[in-house]
A and B are shown apart, each in its own frame.
Chain A
């Protein structure tokens, strides 16, 4: 019993010691943070005129320099942070001049040295600032860091710094290689990082599209989403028939380039097992005003996937009177999910189009209204009311 009590008393002493140490640390952290915040404010105030001077001389020919006199470490950091903030906001010559000022002031040199620090935290913060200063000379060292780094949220911090600072496309490709080698499907994040580059992104993306690495192709496809340029169409043509892995993205991008699609291609894509592809095709058919595809869209109203049904109905509503009439027919005579989808889109179309002011839009609306009244009657403004029953559609 006594020995247990002794252990318990030791435990109490340890707790007391740790609590005391914790409290001291807490006060020390707080007082230090308050001190830094106060000094930062003071330096920002002190150099207010310098900041105005820099801003007004960004367009001038004269070289910019740091304020005269000896600057403390924190003072230099405050100025550096301000310059990085501006570099993020400005582009072109103004940005170049600020980047040069960071070089001349020794900020880049100091942070490159910190990349070799024993402390991981210092290396990461230095990489972050070097990215902010678009420090091209730091890229090889940061690539080494990425190579050694295990995958973590901080890998993305380094990757972004490299993307901002890289001078050559191959450096970006190497960065992507390190980022994607962990096998995580982070193509969206990678695309977002690549788009931070100051290089010509469209050329780089074209190169990635031609690459053998499917991950690179996917990043390029995701990055180009909704903005396909004519130069990429041949590559996309190839990829539409390529491996499953990149196909959905390739089809999406291909369709956004408003291609001329053959009937058999449309039919093949609408029968694709990937619901994303079917949904994209259904959406595109409406935008293409492809009236010939109405039967396909009509069938797709029964699709298991909600997005496919929704996009098909939207497209039918866009395909003039014939498309709208098909929706009315399904709403009147159909059943189950296809009827629900049609009903919803008929009401949506009637609501949206009733507010059109232009003559041609009014004419189109009136035609649809007549069709609507033929199927559902004239008496009520919202005649077809239905709340869906509890059921078992399990598509998300």
Chain B
């Protein structure tokens, strides 16, 4: 019951803020700002591991954003495919003889930095494989600007995404240490010239589940959490950070997944321990489109990895939970994440087993089991409907009635198997953690053109 109270409270905060978000998105024009020298310069960091299929399209997309001053730093993290080769050929990149790596943060020594003066804002770092966090740290060491933005190499930014985030940063530059963007599922969309041309829902089942799941997590959850400054994660796919604070907390933590959550926890801890006024914000109108895993195997690998990362972060930072020194983070976010996110599947399983046991022993009636399940299902579905309402009020990205009905259907359908699988994957992730299995798991990429072709032909 208490988890539902928290869920509904966070959703209420999201609803409280949604009209402001809608208005600021609708009544802010970016034509002057995107050509202004007054906007802060940003270094975009793009870690790439075996991304030869999608990386060119993504870099082209990033090089054509509506933003005055920025640089793109792709970090080839020891890919075993031809990621570096395709980049070098496409952009005519040559090694820089003496790359000026500033070594603000410890990271593995790099092999080389590639550059072509004809693309003055593009750098490619080649380094031995060291993980995503290590790649981001290497990118920070080369970056030249005061703000950094981490972007996954399998994601496409909307042209205005960066300027929207910068606007949010400029509204309160002193206190803003990080801003998260909205991540949406690109499967099913028509993509042309590195941009989403036509928005549509995925046709396959697994990406469709994730589409409604992301909507609920980002709109229903993160808007609310950010409004009370309790956001615990800025998605690794698209986030903006103040470089000086990222350096102050020692950069990204390597050697384990969940580095996106870890950096935010460290920022909260640093700011609160040093009694600095700050905010970690969420900008849902800054959108990044990402390829969602479309097969069971890849999705389960991803979720197990998330489970591992989440558990590691909770164990590393358990001292923050219930500690008033850490304000909302200590008294609400961390306890919520430990109890209702990390340990959630165990509570659900033990609760269910206990109920089944009681029912079998005839200590109570079977109706109790039905009521228990109905409460679980209906409260979850109500939250999903709430997230769809937030989407409809502020963004209206999916214009067809059929899209709406599909989203409603999948929001309900996910309680019949997918939600349970989510719990199972999380437990498997925890087992991997205990066994010290620290692999990233398999991720296969599909070309954007190929994906787009499929979407068009449907």
* Interface: B38 (CB within 8 A): yes
Is B419's beta carbon under 8 Å from chain A?
no
Kindly state the separation between the CA atoms of A25 and B385 in the bound complex, as whole angstroms.
Answer: 10
Q: Which residues of B contact A (CB under 8 A)?
A: 19-20, 23-24, 26-29, 31-33, 36-40, 96-104, 106-112, 117, 146, 167-168, 170-174, 243-244, 247, 364, 367-368, 371-372, 374-375, 378-379, 381-382, 385-386, 388-389, 392-393, 396, 399, 401, 404, 408
Q: Which residue of B lies closest to A392 (CB)?
A: B103
A192-215 interface code vs B (CB 8 A; 1 in, 0 out): 100110000000000000000000
Do residues A385 and B97 form an inter-chain contact, with CB atoms below 8 A?
yes
Most chain A beta carbons < 10 A, residue from B36, B108, B386: B36
Q: When A15-B382, A18-B382, A344-B100 are in contact, do A389 and B38 touch as well, CB less than 8 Å?
A: no
> Are the CB atoms of B24 and A26 closer together than 8 Å?
no
Interface check A8, CB cutoff 8 A: yes
Distance (whole angstroms) from the CB of B392 to the closest CB of chain A: 5
A396 with B104: CB separation less than 8 A: yes
B99 in complex: contacting residue of A184, A225, A351, A387, CB < 8 Å: A387
Q: Does A23 lie at the interface of the complex (its beta carbon under 8 Å from any beta carbon of B)?
A: yes
Q: Decide if A388 touches B38 in the complex (CB within 8 Å).
A: no
List chain A positions with a Cβ less than 8 A from chain B: 1, 5, 8-9, 11-12, 15-16, 18-19, 22-23, 25-27, 29-31, 33-34, 37, 88, 121, 124-125, 128, 152-154, 156-157, 184-186, 188-189, 191-192, 195-196, 222-223, 225-226, 306, 310, 340-341, 343-344, 346-347, 351-352, 382, 384-396
Nearest chain B CB to A396 CB, angstrom units: 5
| Cβ–Cβ < 8 Å partners of A128 in chain B | 27
Contacts of B172 in A (CB 8 A): 184, 186
Q: Given A154-B23, A306-B102, do A16 and B378 touch, yes or no (CB 8 Å)? A: yes
Question: Which of B23, B109, B243, B247 has the most chain A CB within a 10 Å cutoff?
Answer: B23
Measured between alpha carbons, how far is A261 from B291 in the docked complex, in Å? 56
Closest CB-CB distance, A388 to chain B, in whole Å? 4
Contact of B117 among A189, A196, A351, A395 (CB under 8 A): A351
Nearest 9 CB-CB pairings of A with B: A15-B378, A22-B385, A153-B24, A343-B98, A347-B97, A344-B100, A128-B27, A388-B101, A188-B38
Closest beta carbon of chain B to A202's beta carbon, Å = 16
Chain A proximity of B171: nearest CB distance (Å) = 6
Give 15 A-B pairs besides A12-B374, A153-B168 with Cβ atoms closer than 8 angstroms.
Answer: A19-B382, A22-B389, A26-B385, A27-B401, A29-B393, A154-B20, A186-B170, A188-B39, A341-B100, A344-B100, A347-B96, A388-B101, A388-B103, A390-B103, A390-B108
Closest beta carbon of chain B to A161's beta carbon, Å: 9
> Is A192 in contact with B32, judged by CB distance below 8 angstroms?
yes
Would A396 and B368 count as touching, CB distance under 8 A?
A: no
Q: Could you list 23 examples of A-B contacts with CB < 8 Å?
A: A1-B364, A5-B367, A5-B371, A8-B371, A19-B381, A19-B385, A25-B392, A27-B404, A121-B23, A154-B27, A156-B171, A157-B28, A184-B171, A192-B32, A192-B39, A195-B32, A340-B100, A343-B97, A351-B97, A385-B98, A390-B106, A391-B103, A393-B102
In the bound assembly, the distance between CA atoms of A352 and B408 in angstroms comes to 58
Establish whether residues A23 and B385, one from each chain, have CB atoms under 8 Å apart when the complex forms: yes
> Which residue of A is nearest B111, CB measured?
A387
With a CB–CB cut-off of 8 A, which chain A residues contact B393? Answer: 29
Q: Write the nearest CB–CB distance from A351 to chain B, whole angstroms.
A: 7
Cα–Cα distance between A352 and B118 once the two chains are bound (Å): 11
A33 to B247, CA, bound (A): 46
CB pair A395–B102 under 8 Å, yes or no, is: yes
Chain A nearest Cβ from B249, distance in angstroms? 12
Instruction: Give A154 to B23 CA distance when docked, in angstroms.
Output: 7
Q: Is there contact, CB below 8 Å, between A390 and B109?
A: yes
Q: Which residues of A contact B20 (CB under 8 A)?
A: 152-154
